């Protein structure tokens, strides 16, 4: 059979078009696969680190090293005597009343450096209210402690970084007495994280069955509103003896 030249040309054009179409399809599939992998990776990353998916506000300083304008006493207008500014730090040398942030915070990320003296004991409290005689009756506490010599060192439930009396912190991340430690607290809804020197010590869910059981078994069962507030004051505990100093206190709200 005689094949005309224009038939050959049409055949070649058809095969080329088919190959081009196949290439385009394969390219589209390849691109779709890449986009799907990126999307899946983003989801997995958010699952591994839920806070990475949050949209934080700009950092706000709660202590500038020169004034105590962001703080006041618990149920008081003024900062209690005994708290002082010492070489750019917020410090105390002896037992003194607690101080609280003037503003309240709900979902937030808090960073704060702290240095504690020998046998020292203190705490950072969050989402505290002023309904009770003491703020720790309403506010969960990030424990600050000299784990070596303080009397509260008999249980990891009350050692440095613990959610005081509720969730224990692992040992091995606290710096020696006299050195600066870096604390980070993340609160987003019911989800809470305690960090120490860039290590996540623990995380928990307020109101979860596990949390409820632990609270019921603790001294905090006495106060029905403990840990229930979705927004409240940041507090620095002063009612223990010993030397204590803070610096680089900053917070940003999460949405």
**Fold classification of 57-253 (topology level):** Jelly Rolls (2.60.120)
CA distances to 45, 166, 177 from 103, in Å: 33, 26, 31
3-state DSSP call for residue 254? strand
Q: What pLDDT is attached to residue 212? A: 98
* Euclidean distance between CA atoms 173 and 181, whole angstroms: 9
Contacting residues for 190 by C-beta, under 8 A, at least 6 apart = 205, 206, 207, 208
CA distances to 97, 104, 122 from 80, in Å: 6, 19, 16
pLDDT digits (tens, 9 = 90+) for 50-94: 444 557 889 999 999 999 999 999 999 999 999 999 999 999 999
Low-confidence ranges of the chain (pLDDT < 70): 1-54
HSE at residue 211, side-chain half, CA atoms within 13 A, is 16
Residue with tokens 């300083």: 61
CA distances to 63, 65, 88, 156, 189 from 159, in Å: 26, 28, 27, 5, 25
Give the number of residues written for the chain: 255
pTM over 0.85: no
Find the helix or strand (DSSP H, E) in which 34 lies.
Answer: helix 5-48
């Amino acid at each position: 059979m005689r094949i005309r030249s224009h038939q050959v040309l049409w055949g070649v054009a058809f095969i080329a078009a088919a190959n081009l179409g196949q290439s385009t399809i394969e390219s589209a599939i390849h691109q779709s696969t890449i986009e799907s992998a990126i999307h899946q990776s983003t989801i997995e990353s958010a699952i591994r680190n839920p806070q990475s998916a949050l949209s934080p506000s700009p950092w706000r300083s709660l202590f500038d090293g020169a004034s105590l304008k962001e703080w006041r006493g618990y149920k008081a207008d003024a900062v209690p005597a005994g708290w002082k500014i010492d070489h750019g730090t917020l410090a105390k040398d002896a037992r003194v009343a607690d101080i609280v942030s003037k503003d309240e915070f709900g979902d937030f990320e808090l960073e704060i450096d702290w240095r504690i003296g020998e046998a020292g004991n203190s705490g950072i409290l969050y989402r505290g209210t002023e309904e009770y005689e003491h703020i720790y009756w309403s506010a969960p506490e990030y424990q600050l402690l000299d784990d070596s010599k303080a009397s509260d060192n008999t249980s990891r439930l009350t050692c440095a970084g613990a959610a005081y009396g509720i969730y224990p912190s692992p040992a091995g991340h606290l710096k020696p007495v006299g050195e600066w430690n870096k604390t980070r607290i993340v609160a987003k809804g019911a989800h809470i994280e305690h960090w120490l020197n860039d290590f996540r010590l623990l995380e928990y869910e307020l109101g979860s069955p596990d949390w409820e059981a632990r609270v019921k078994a603790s001294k905090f069962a006495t106060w029905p509103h403990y840990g229930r507030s979705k927004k409240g004051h940041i507090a620095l505990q002063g009612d223990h003896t010993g030397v204590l100093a803070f610096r680089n206190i900053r917070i940003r709200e999460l949405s």
